[in-house]
Structure 1
Amino acid sequence: MTIGTHFVCISLERASERRALMARQFQAHGIDVQFFSGIEPRSSADAINESDFSARMRRYGRPMSEGEIGCYLSHREVWKQLVDSGDDAWCIMEDDIALRSGFVATVWELASNRDHWDVVRLMGLNRNERIPYAKLPSGTQLMWMDRQPVGLQCYMLTRAGAAALLAHTHKIVHAIDTAVDRHWEHKLRLFVTEPEYVETVDMVSTVGFRPGITSLSMRVREKIYRRIDKTMAALYNAKRRPQRPIHLSQNAVFTEHRQRDAHGLSLIDRQS
């Protein structure tokens, strides 16, 4: 028996230096990773329709940068591929990260316990309060956050979760990581690992310049939207917040892959 999972790294085709750095890491960790060439729209008009643009402007009072739109479309395209693949879960990452020790074993452990989550970040950009949801056999914990950790630098996603996120993000209004963070809307089970197995690398962002809000009326509207979001999130969190952590038992499939890792064999076996 095998776990149907896969590793994908989103990277601009022209980002040769970034790809080379990531490829060296993948080789060092003994994993086979597919590069997905990030989408680069020539202009926002090429990628976002008038309806989406209007909704975005009503909510934020500023357009998304071409880089933000490209990032948005790239993650969604990978989600589509996951849905079509028949695999159970994928590990999806961007090209500005460093993989820590234990990364590969944790990916397989998460995949073998995929019934307990929909999205798991292996790192977050903030350290808001974290509440234990589940303890994996290795000791790694899945942590709930009322306020999500932000960023999609590296995360695990189930096929069902990908389908739900595709439906949730069909209109381009929020930045893609913000859209994922809105758990009170899509109601997926979002967690972050403790400890984290990925860290960011200091690189120049490819997202581009984000214009600020200059209109006083828009700043007032933004505060109102944030207050509404905060209220909706609080109501959702009060109902779903874990009360006590659960302990997951060792999975035979994970044990098999851990043993293969220890013997230096391939970590990706897509044969059934």
Structure 2
Amino acid sequence: MINLKRRQDRRERMLRALHEQEIDCQLVEAVDGKAMNTSQVEALGIQMLPGYQDPYHGRPLTKGELGCFLSHYNIWKEVSVWGEGAWPRSPGSPHRFGGAQGPRRDCGPHAAA
């Protein structure tokens, strides 16, 4: 589960919901796009497409949307090095991914709190 560090309320609500459904998860701290400045974005090599407008809202990408994308992108990069054996093989298999390194942890029984 990806979650912003500053949104503890959402984290606890989602952990309770996942626990009630007996779903194990890994907790990943989200990239907080609102906390990023222009130089941090540039240091990542990110360049916005000139004149890009969101097709639904007619505006440029927001910092929150950038953080959301980067959060998922970081996970995609990590998963790409795990290899095929790290993925669950059937709908009944446990959703645990081997080989993970970094800021992940089991959500565990504290989710029921």
Q: Normalising by structure 1, what TM-score?
A: 0.28
* Contact 1:57 1:63 survives alignment (8 Å): no
Which of 47, 57, 62 is 1:52 aligned to? 47
Indicate how the Cα distance of structure 1 residues 59 and 65 shifts in structure 2: closer, same or farther if over 3 A, else same: closer
- Structure-2 residue corresponding to 1:83: 80
- Structure-1 residue corresponding to 2:15: 23
Whole-Å separation in 2 of the counterparts to 1:64 and 1:269? 33
- Structure-1 residue corresponding to 2:69: 72
Whole-Å separation in 2 of the counterparts to 1:19 and 1:35? 9
* Contact 1:44 1:66 survives alignment (8 Å): no
Indicate how the Cα distance of structure 1 residues 39 and 51 shifts in structure 2: closer, same or farther if over 3 A, else same: closer
Larger relative contact order, structure 1 or 2 (CA cutoff 8 Å, min sep 6): 2
More strand by share: 1
Whole-Å separation in 1 of the counterparts to 2:12 and 2:76? 24
Q: Quick one: which amino acid aligns to residue 70 of structure 1?
A: G
CA shift, 1:38, in A, is 0.7
Q: Quick one: which amino acid aligns to residue 78 of structure 1?
A: I
Q: How does 1:1-272 map to 2 (within 5 A)?
A: 9-41=1-33, 42-48=36-42, 52-53=47-48, 56-60=49-53, 63-86=60-83, 87-88=86-87, 112=90, 254=91, 257=92, 267-268=94-95
Indicate how the Cα distance of structure 1 residues 24 and 30 shifts in structure 2: closer, same or farther if over 3 A, else same: same
SS of residue in 2 equivalent to 1:32: coil
CA shift, 1:12, in A, is 0.1
The Cα RMSD (Å) is: 3.0
CA shift, 1:78, in A, is 0.9
* Contact 2:87 2:97 survives alignment (8 Å): no
- Structure-1 residue corresponding to 2:104: none
Aligned length: 89
Structure 2: stretches of 5+ with no match in the other structure: 99-113
Q: Normalising by structure 2, what TM-score?
A: 0.61
CA shift, 1:59, in A, is 3.2
* Contact 1:43 1:66 survives alignment (8 Å): no
Whole-Å separation in 2 of the counterparts to 1:31 and 1:20? 14
Structure 1: stretches of 5+ with no match in the other structure: 1-8, 90-110, 113-253, 259-266
